[in-house]
Structure 1
Amino acid sequence: MTASSNGTSVSVWMDTASLPTYAPLPGDLDTEVCVIGAGIAGLTTAYLMAKEGRRVTVIDALGVGAGETGRTTAHLFPPDEWYTFIEDKFGAASARLVADSYARAIELVESIAKEIAAVDGIDCEFERLDGYLYALPGNGFQDLEKEYVSARRAGVAVELLPGVPGLPFDSGPAVRYANQAQFHPLKYLAGLARAIERHGGKIHGGTHAHRLRGNQQQQTVSTDHGEIRARHVVLATHTPFNDRVVMHTKQAGYRTYVVGLRVARGSLPRILLWDTGDPYYYVRLETPDPSMDHDILVVGGADHKTGQDDHPEHRYDEIERWTREHFPMAGAVAYRWSGEVMEPSDGLAYLGHNPMDDDNVYLITGDSGNGMTHCTIGAMLVTDLAAGRPNPYKSLYDPSRKPIHGLADFAHEQANTMARYGEWLTGGDVDRVEEIAAGEGAVVRDGLRKIAVYRDAQGGLHAVSAKCTHLGCAVHWNSAERSWDCPCHASRFDIEGNVLHGPAPEPLEKVELAENSAPPRGPRPGMRGRGAR
């Protein structure tokens, strides 16, 4: 398994791309557009706006591609909810809009890929492919004929087949979606960054945005390196850091897991593949090095609510076991990694004006497993809104819409979140810090507070408050990524308490903890629940 020096997983994209680095913000700055976040949402927005001649500045707490874009599987494929459910929830007209927006997103990615290949010499491996949805007997959603009819009614080029051609197992009936796509997401970001600079835009890494304030004429972004004054601000941070509650009741964070196994070149068709099971799996091929005799079979799935599985390594094992059962030619595991998915309550992304904010603050979130597609749609939509142009998808993806089409999921997620606050009344994961093994973390009770403690390989202790800086849930240890994850709203922190993923705006509070003054014993906690996407 490929892993970074700090113990976090490394995707095949992170292992095979060279990303540009940028210095932090040098001080206070005036710009027309400030984009917060240097993933696909932020860089696509910055590219489109810079290309229109706007003065654009991009900032990121870490750097280009350091967030979730590098942890995707980079499919450009049908909506995660499928057209039959979108039609049932939103109507046939909305399903047609979704289909049209998805097609336009793929076209935009393709055109940008061609541009950066021609001008900057960066090949992001964009490839048009057919995608297949299948349902093994007795496992999950079965009505593929209904999906086929709904997709056709939405204007999608689909075909109902007796099986997926070229697979080593009998898939049973399948829907073929023609002309979908895949690409290398981090090579794409490298090209976008170069294109933004070419069009006059500025990018700054190592610049953490803490606060946003302003009015319809000007917004001020406070960072750890100065203030940015801008006419427009785009929140492209996967989930907004400036909203305390509004958006975080409408979506929930899930961890998703990916295994990459070597397969002989040519042993499998180059297609995209998804099933409808529970758990479900999604599959593609990647060719890291055309000179080698093998591809990487990329298989993802096994999702769960963020912060609600302290030791999720078994999920990699489950994916690998499923893969070997269905693809017996699969060889050695080359990669294991995980990523974060924000699931909107009704299945559609939140793209546009940020609710309860000024009209010059925009939001791109709620990827629902279609991050590459939704982020591209969001960039197009936000660019139109900032320019005062009409956009056909504005109402469809409006972040201020009520979750009336997903009330059951909404209620379930809120109940799950509220239950997590009860953990402040329980004991710690262990009674004393001496019980924490090297390379592991655990929450320890200390009187009325809880402390998140990590023991490094040398035996040193790294202690921070277990209280998430967003809305105060107690964080949980994630042994697969060596991080502290919030089970309420999906904030994540490294072992020193630094923010890895919002909405938490600030790091966890440092705690001085001596080995010989460990917190007293307390009651042991009960079993934690797990969510499934």
Structure 2
Amino acid sequence: MGNSNDLRSKSLWMDIEVAPDARPLEGDQACDVIIAGSGIAGISTGYELALKGLAVMIVDRGRIAGGITARTTAHLAPLCDDLTSEMIKLRGEEISRAFYESQAAAVDRIEAVQKREAIDCDFRRLDGYLFQALNTDSKIIDDELDAVRKVGAPVHRLVGVPLAHCGNQHALRYPRQATFHPLKYLKGLAEIIEAKGGVFYSETIVREIEERKDGSVAAKTDSGVITAKAAVVATNSPIVDTLALHTKMAPYRTYAMAFAIKRGAIPDALYWDTLDPYHYVRLQPGEGAADTLIVGGADHKSGEADDADLRFEALEAWARNLIPAAKNVTHRWSGQVLDTIDYAGFIGRNPGSQNIYVHTGDSGQGMTHGVAGSLINSALILGDTAKWQEVYEPTRKTPSGIGNFVRENLTAVKNFAEYLAPGELKSLDDLKPGQGAVVRQGLSKIAAYRGKDGALHARSAACTHIGCHLHWNSFETCWDCPCHGSQFAVDGTALNAPAVSALADVKTGD
């Protein structure tokens, strides 16, 4: 599995090893709380519970903190990623205000924890700027100003932001935003969890979590069962429901680039424009007089495009136009975002469960969602009052979001129809080294990849979650499921939830 994962892109953060002593689970274990998933949601929840004296075990299918959290750009921005004005349309002012307050509390919590625990993670408070994209209407700025004021967030309207060609662009400035190095922060949390008796298990796939009649839970893996009083499923996309939550979310792929830049070339701040999909920008401190400029955007529905090079070219052109001081490109990577129908995640008791809790649907704000979720789920597990629970309640209905619900679920309908279509290549013989494609073999579709050494990897093209038709992702060298966000390595290994099982092997005679 490690070799297959090595084919994927690497972000700016991935050289930091979190919980380096973590090992695969061997044999049955017991604890107070089992947490599946070691991103910011899982580790932050483990930290909150460990502080209260609970014995926690955090399990991940890969390396600790090596999943989607390691593919963030780490903006700590409390306002709705998809515009506060849009959230108010769907959920009203009261819930939108509570959403902002919970996300702001998450930033406050990160600030307090890194200070109290002396975690050197480059945390800093700074301004955020939402600015009018070139050649677009400024009305969106006016609408957003009104909406942000309604939820009680500090905001200032101005003309001009410190980027090239943007001196006359209308903008909003949001004070007290923040940013940090996410894996340095999680490394610090992991050390504290371990010091308090918590345990990390890496390279261990949780295949099922069941709730027993006595109220206990059991997490089943190939190498043992972990029994606990409660379980938290923080696997980005949940592994405990087939449809209850997945039909209210959609996976999107987003792209990020890092450039070398001289310190002071642009003010240290967060920047977003008003395009759809929008661009987002921040700085990361470097060595000496050098910093790193991080630019992201160019999103698309997962599996519905395989043109990463073109998207990176567009991102780079946009960045160099507005930030001429950007130098050479140092990193390129992509990540997957789960957008919900109403922009807030699903956090709390898993529908139909008593002691299984879920965290999913971060909608592009994984860092703040992850920490807000840790405060909510830890409070519920401890029997305390969980502030903001109504905002993120997994069983909630959002009638005004029905348009988003229908639109996003059309993906699955269209996807299953692809099984009737011809393959992308007529024959496996047409598959070139380093290429992946879906090939028809009789009544079946094969997800085929030919390694650069000429070796053929042939697996079923049906996702092991609910059977959706997979698409090739040439940039990440993996198979994407457009329906619910599962990903698979070229050898069939499941890389990303909700799928936990590997793709079925296929005999080809090659």
Output aligned runs, 1:31-42, within 5 Å: 31-42=31-42
1:61 and 2:64 matched? no
The match for 1:272 among 270, 273, 280 is 270
Residue aligning to 1:114 = 115
Cα shift at 1:5: 8.3
Partners of 1:135 and 1:171 within 8 A in 2: no
Pairing 1:81-480 to 2, within 5 Å after superposition: 81-117=82-118, 122-139=119-136, 142-165=139-162, 169-170=166-167, 172-215=169-212, 217-287=215-285, 289-291=286-288, 293-356=289-352, 358-480=353-475
Question: Structure 1 unaligned runs (5+)?
Answer: 516-533
Match of 1:68, as an amino acid? I
Distance (Å, rounded) in 2 between the aligned partners of 1:467 and 1:313: 26
1:507 equivalent among 499, 502, 506: 502
Verify the 8 A CA contact 2:251 2:337 in the aligned structure 1: yes
Given that 2:160 and 2:167 are in contact with CA atoms closer than 8 Å, whether structure 1 keeps it comes out as yes
Q: Match for 2:269: what amino acid?
A: I
AA at the equivalent of 1:399: P
Tell me if the contact between 2:19 and 2:191 (Cα under 8 Å) persists in the aligned partners. no
Q: RMSD of the alignment, in Å? A: 1.8
TM-score (structure 1 length as normaliser): 0.92
Tell whether the 8 Å contact from 1:250 to 1:403 is kept in structure 2 after alignment: no
Retained in 1: the 8 A contact 2:164–2:321?
A: no
- Secondary structure of 1:34 counterpart: strand
Task: Verify the 8 A CA contact 2:18 2:64 in the aligned structure 1.
Answer: no
Q: What is the distance in 1 between the residues matched to 2:473 and 2:21?
A: 28
8 A contact 2:131–2:171 mirrored in 1: yes
**What is the deviation of 1:137?**
4.9
| Partner AA of 2:6 in structure 1 | N
Counterpart CA distance in 1 for 2:162 and 2:400 is: 36
The C-alpha deviation readout for 1:280-311, integer Å capped at 9, x for no partner, is 10000112x322x3221111001111111134
CA distance in 1, matches of 2:324, 2:290: 15
Structure 1 residue 235: Cα displacement: 0.3
Aligned mates of 1:64, 1:114 — CA distance in 2: 23
Letter in 2 for 1:199: K
Once the two structures are TM-superposed, the CA of residue 388 in structure 1 deviates from its matched residue by 1.3
* TM-aligned CA deviation for residue 116 of structure 1: 3.5
Q: Residue 174 of structure 2: SS of its match in structure 1?
A: strand
* Equivalent AA in structure 1 for residue 394 of structure 2: P
Q: Secondary structure at the match of 1:237?
A: coil
Query: What code does the residue aligned with 2:195 have?
Result: R
| Equivalent pair of 2:484/2:498 in contact (CA under 8 Å) | yes
8 A contact 1:34–1:228 mirrored in 2: yes
8 Å contact kept, 2:254–2:299: yes
Distance (Å, rounded) in 1 between the aligned partners of 2:38 and 2:25: 14
Q: Is the 8 A contact 1:38 1:65 kept in 2?
A: yes
- Give % identity: 40
Counterpart residue type for residue 167 of structure 2:
D
User: 1:294 and 1:16 mapped to 2: Cα distance?
Assistant: 19
**Residue 157 (structure 1) shift:** 1.3
Q: 2:271·2:282 contact (CA, 8 Å) conserved in 1?
A: yes
Whole-angstrom distance in 2 between the partners of 1:476 and 1:94: 37
Matched to 2:417, the amino acid is: G
Given the superposition, is the C-alpha separation of residues 339 and 21 from structure 1 closer, same or farther in structure 2, using an over 3 Å criterion? farther
Judged with a 3 Å threshold, the aligned counterparts in structure 2 of structure 1 residues 270 and 68 are, in CA distance, closer, same or farther, namely same
- Specify whether residues 141 and 405 from structure 1 end up closer, same or farther in structure 2 by C-alpha distance, changes over 3 A only: farther
Task: Judge conservation of contact 1:140–1:277 (CA < 8 Å) in 2.
Answer: no
Q: Deviations over 1:56-110 (max 9, x none)?
A: 1111111211100110000011221222222222222212211211111001111
Do the aligned residues in 2 keep the contact of 1:381 with 1:393 (CA within 8 Å)? yes
Instruction: Give the aligned partner of residue 10 of structure 2.
Output: 10
Q: Deviations over 1:407-451 (max 9, x none)?
A: 111111111221110010011111111211111111110011111
Cα gap change, 1:55/1:17 in structure 2, threshold over 3 Å: closer, same or farther? closer
Superimposed CA distance per residue, residues 320-376 of structure 1 (whole angstroms, 9 cap, x where no aligned partner) = 1111121122211111000010000111111111113x1211111111110000111
Conserved in 2, the CA contact under 8 Å of 1:403 and 1:410? no
Counterparts of 1:153 and 1:305, CA distance in 2 = 31
Would the alpha carbon gap of residues 189 and 127 (structure 1) be closer, same or farther in structure 2, given more than 3 Å must change?
same
Instruction: Work out whether residues 19 and 186 of structure 1, in 8 Å CA contact, stay in contact via their aligned partners in 2.
Output: no
Asked whether the 8 Å contact 2:138–2:170 carries over to 1, the reply is: no
Structure 2: 5+ residue stretches without partners: none
CA distance in 1 between counterparts of 2:21 and 2:64 reads 7
Partner Cα distance (1:47, 1:365) in 2: 18
Separation (CA, whole Å) in 1 of partners of 2:5 and 2:355: 40
Alignment match, 1:530: none
In the TM superposition, what is the alpha-carbon distance from 1:25 to its structure 2 partner?
Answer: 1.4
What is the CA–CA distance in structure 1 between the aligned matches of 2:384 and 2:400, rounded to whole Å?
28
The one-letter amino acid of 1:493's match is F
- Does residue 70 in structure 1 map to residue 70 in structure 2? yes
